[in-house]
Structure 1
Amino acid sequence: MKFIIAAVLLFSFSVHAQPVEANKFADVEKEFQSLAKKFGVQLSDLGMYATVGEGQDMKVLLDINSKKTMIPASISKVATASAALAHFPPGHKFKTQLLASAESKNGVLKGNLYLKGGGDPSFVSENMWYLVNAFTRNGITRIEGDIIVDDSLFDKVRYDVSRQKERVDRAYDAPTGAMSFNWNSVNIFVRSNGKGNGADVFIDPQNDYIRLVNKAKTVAGSDNKLLADRQDDKKFEGDVIHVGGSIGQGLKEVVIFKNITQPDLWAGYNLKSFLAQRGVQLTGSIKNGVTPEKADVLAESESKAIEQVVADMNKFSNNYVAEMLTKNLGAVKKTKGASLADGMQVINEHMQSLGVPADQYRLESPSGLTRENKMSSFAMWKVLQHLRNDFQVQPEFLTSLPIAGIDGTLKKRMKNSKAERWVRAKTGFLTNVVSLAGYAGIEDGNVITFSFIYNGSTDEAKIRSFFDNLLIYLVK
């Protein structure tokens, strides 16, 4: 229902908006200059383009270096979302399957169980439970074989070269795989256990892929000085995580998110754990491989609808989802081993189809987690304007964006101001890069389409405040 409401709201702007008054935005340039001076922003570091209204009533509000190519950071995901919504219709779902080529008898499957990934970025514990529960209805309680994880839909490149070269074990830098689970990250919960004692550490979901080394301590106070790092151990095929440092006894619980390194084995070990909890015994081990052509489907789980997956990407600027969607775009043309490069070709072809000037963008990463992407604010505006005008994708995209003062990466921005709930936009951030691109509604029914990019050395917090205050002015 919320998607329908969003569609009606934005569509009503197009139908019932009043003509833009000639003098209504007469002081925009003056306000812009005043705010730039207040926050110490150099105009040469900006690329900005904003319009209000549409058709013959469209008025350009800001045009600051709009044709200059700059590092866009995570607003790159707007182009990724546009291509994904163009190629996957609303309601499209990715499938994850359990299959077998051997027959079962008296509750025993005499052969391998295949876990086949369909590129679902949103496959989490709830989906695994659904898949396992569906599997148990086959009456199988023992698997005399291995769990074979088939993630052949995508290539084996887990960390694409378009990302920043330095790997970190944080959740936002999670690897990709056609068979992925829980954002390819693990939750580590740490609880204090009385001053002078150790600390209780829990892995969720608990499985044999993770080996936990707990050296954390409980100390006086309420400080969080916990450290969690992944350590190399060539004798162990999973990931070894060391938790150290200290947690204050005044803290009830602290959660730490860490990515894993091998999505296929990670998913396979979790499947084994979930099966065991339903009383299904596995005699073999976890391996990767390819499903036989004549294998029978024993259970199937569908992903969220594509519009909800796009929202997962945009609301929280999830780089993992951006790359998973891009490899799925590559899989549209390539049924095995789809790469990020295959998907980026589709995204760039989509950009060309929108008439985005070829000399004003270069996209190598779908997430923007790179300094190699380049885009002008006008090029980004062209994509936003397409998404605003194409009713086939408009409501889905609009609903995917963070809402000022309400949720996602804009939850704490423009809160309790005139712009709260009136701005929906994608954020972007890298060192010395701040960007914001989306829509601002005004009470007369008109909508401002804007694209703001900053590349410079001014404190990023000041730039965000500069952008926010300018939008607050435009809205009111």
Structure 2
Amino acid sequence: MRFLVLTTAILWMFNAHANIEPKAVESELESLAKKHGVQLKDVGMYATSGEGESLRTIIDVNGKIRMTPASITKVVTASAVLANFPPGHKFKTQLLGSGDIKNGVLKGNIYLKGGGDPSFVSENMWFLVNAFLRNQVKKIEGDIVVDDSLFDKMRYDVSRQKERVDRAYDAPVGAMSFNWNSANIFVRPGKVGEEAKVFSDPENDYIRLVAKAKTTSGNENKLLADRKEDSKFDGDVIHVGGSIGRGNKEIAIFKNITQPDLWSGYNLKSFLAQRGVQVTGSIKTGVTPESAEVMAESESKAIEQILADMNKFSNNYVAEMLTKNLGTFKKPKGASLADGVVLINEHLKSLALPEDQYHIESPSGLTRENKMSSYVMWRVLQHLRNDFRVQPEFLSSLPIAGIDGTLKKRMKDSEAERWVRAKTGYINNVVSLAGYAGLADGRVVTFSFVYNGSTDETKVRQFFDKLLIFLVK
């Protein structure tokens, strides 16, 4: 009898230790909110622990109230993408030719046909050019015609913020895009008092650099870089001014471009020239004729790796590119972002979510028009967690606390480092975080935290992070 009593006591103690008590969580949540100046009326939070019959709600603060989610919207986008493009799916970019090849001369145009690949970068362009060289062409007596007709011509969707900026996160979208439609500008100091050395990478005739930055003593970085309008020039003009200290090795600046199709074409011409292929014509836009023959083809990274590009770094450009690819199911040519957003909302409807708790207009979350409750976001996360066909791919796309992506510097050197994988979100007066927190005993906390208010975003992030550290502990 005594043994039975002891055994029961031990089991009770074990279960008490194993469970996350909602009351303890509530107490800690309120204490942390007060400490960081966060009013709970401004948050929407929902979290559970365990799974199946042992699933328990441990946090529900305004969980079913619609709020602006910011970039955690990309979780929804990822879910719709994986529902339509299974793991392993790849997009194709092609080089096609029209005309005959005689003695190494192609007498006709080549067509750079975009297949909506968000991950088409310099390595892919090299692969495409190297494959093209096996046709033994050394001269093209014709034009480079860029075909990006798979998508519509709207480069900046109305769902984005109204003010355009020239930073990489606001890059335009096109079915034929290159290097995330952004230029890399590198600045190195020269001698003190002299001009700094400015480079564009990759080098091409689309970018015109106006370099007026000076070199100073010390380690300061007061560089100014702006993209300027120039109606007399087909490409983009980037002015680099200000100053760089002699103590700096190199400063990188990333600027988006305005015309994805021409940008891609000029880079193709540059890459061909580096391999000794001359193009006598110009760079144009158009549609590939049916009679053109495929001369080279490049496949994208697998869809799950592209999702990692989107989620790890909260890349808005990738989110919109993938959404327009979704749109091709509705419209095989000239697909719009709105076409893709229809599929995202159809996907959410298929999950039987409460329709009065969400409204999605933008796949990236770079808008205040999106609305979603923390409960709905939790439901999407649970769907992704429970669908083994996509679970590993989605999980690996998320930033890891203290390790990489937008969580690289958060929860570092804490009990939550490497134990939290989550998508971050931020626009003015909106801070969000949604994902999973692993526990040492194998259970997982699925959570969705959203803040809409005027408290300093740093304090809100600390509030979210400290709460997760408490849950992991």
Length-normalised TM-score, structure 2? 0.96
Q: Distance in 1 between matches of 2:129 and 2:250?
A: 30
CA deviation vs aligned residue, 1:213-238 (integer Å, no higher than 9, x gap): 11110112111000111111101010
- One-letter amino acid matched to 2:335: A
Match of 1:204 among 195, 201, 204: 201
Contact 1:19–1:57 (Cα < 8 Å) also in 2:
no
Q: What does residue 105 of structure 1 align with?
A: 102
Contact 1:19–1:53 (Cα < 8 Å) also in 2:
no
Task: State yes or no: 1:345 paired with 2:345.
Answer: no
CA deviation vs aligned residue, 1:150-174 (integer Å, no higher than 9, x gap): 0000000000000000000000000
Match of 2:464 among 444, 467, 474: 467
Q: Distance in 2 between matches of 1:189 and 1:352?
A: 46
Deviation at 1:33, TM superposition (A): 0.9
| Match runs of 1:149-228 below 5 Å | 149-228=146-225
Contact 1:189–1:256 (Cα < 8 Å) also in 2:
yes
Q: Distance in 2 between matches of 1:347 and 1:139?
A: 45
- One-letter amino acid matched to 1:260: I
Q: What does residue 361 of structure 2 align with?
A: 364
Q: Distance in 1 between matches of 2:471 and 2:213?
A: 50
Task: State yes or no: 1:115 paired with 2:112.
Answer: yes
- One-letter amino acid matched to 2:123: E
CA deviation vs aligned residue, 1:322-347 (integer Å, no higher than 9, x gap): 00000000012321100000000000
Deviation at 1:21, TM superposition (A): 4.6
Match of 1:275 among 262, 272, 277: 272
Point out where structure 2 has 5 or more consecutive residues left out of the alignment: 1-14
Q: Distance in 2 between matches of 1:56 and 1:392?
A: 22
Deviation at 1:260, TM superposition (A): 0.2
- One-letter amino acid matched to 2:46: Y
Q: Distance in 2 between matches of 1:313 and 1:425?
A: 13
Q: What does residue 86 of structure 1 align with?
A: 83
| Match runs of 1:445-460 below 5 Å | 445-460=442-457
Aligned-residue sequence identity (percent) comes to: 76
Q: What does residue 410 of structure 2 align with?
A: 413
Q: What does residue 336 of structure 1 align with?
A: 333
CA RMSD of superposed structures (Å): 1.1
SS at match of 2:258: coil
Q: Quickly say closer, same or farther: Cα 1:331–1:450, change in 2 above 3 A.
A: same
Q: Distance in 2 between matches of 1:250 and 1:332?
A: 53
Q: What does residue 134 of structure 1 align with?
A: 131
Deviation at 1:427, TM superposition (A): 0.2
Q: Distance in 1 between matches of 2:118 and 2:280?
A: 29
Task: State yes or no: 1:395 paired with 2:392.
Answer: yes
Moved over 2 A (4+): 18-26
SS at match of 2:306: helix
Q: Distance in 2 between matches of 1:122 and 1:27?
A: 45
SS at match of 2:47: strand
SS at match of 1:149: strand
Deviation at 1:22, TM superposition (A): 5.0
Task: State yes or no: 1:437 paired with 2:431.
Answer: no
Q: What does residue 320 of structure 1 align with?
A: 317
Q: What does residue 297 of structure 1 align with?
A: 294
- One-letter amino acid matched to 2:199: F
Contact 1:20–1:446 (Cα < 8 Å) also in 2:
no
CA deviation vs aligned residue, 1:294-342 (integer Å, no higher than 9, x gap): 2110000000000000000000000000000000000123211000000
Contact 2:401–2:409 (Cα < 8 Å) also in 1:
yes
CA deviation vs aligned residue, 1:51-87 (integer Å, no higher than 9, x gap): 0111221110000001111110000000000000110
Task: State yes or no: 1:32 paired with 2:29.
Answer: yes
Task: State yes or no: 1:56 paired with 2:62.
Answer: no
Q: Distance in 1 between matches of 2:342 and 2:194?
A: 55
Deviation at 1:445, TM superposition (A): 1.0
SS at match of 1:51: strand
Contact 1:20–1:57 (Cα < 8 Å) also in 2:
no
Q: Distance in 2 between matches of 1:448 and 1:23?
A: 10
Task: State yes or no: 1:41 paired with 2:25.
Answer: no
**Residues paired across the two proteins, number:** 459
SS at match of 1:78: helix
Q: What does residue 310 of structure 1 align with?
A: 307
Q: Quickly say closer, same or farther: Cα 1:268–1:36, change in 2 above 3 A.
A: same
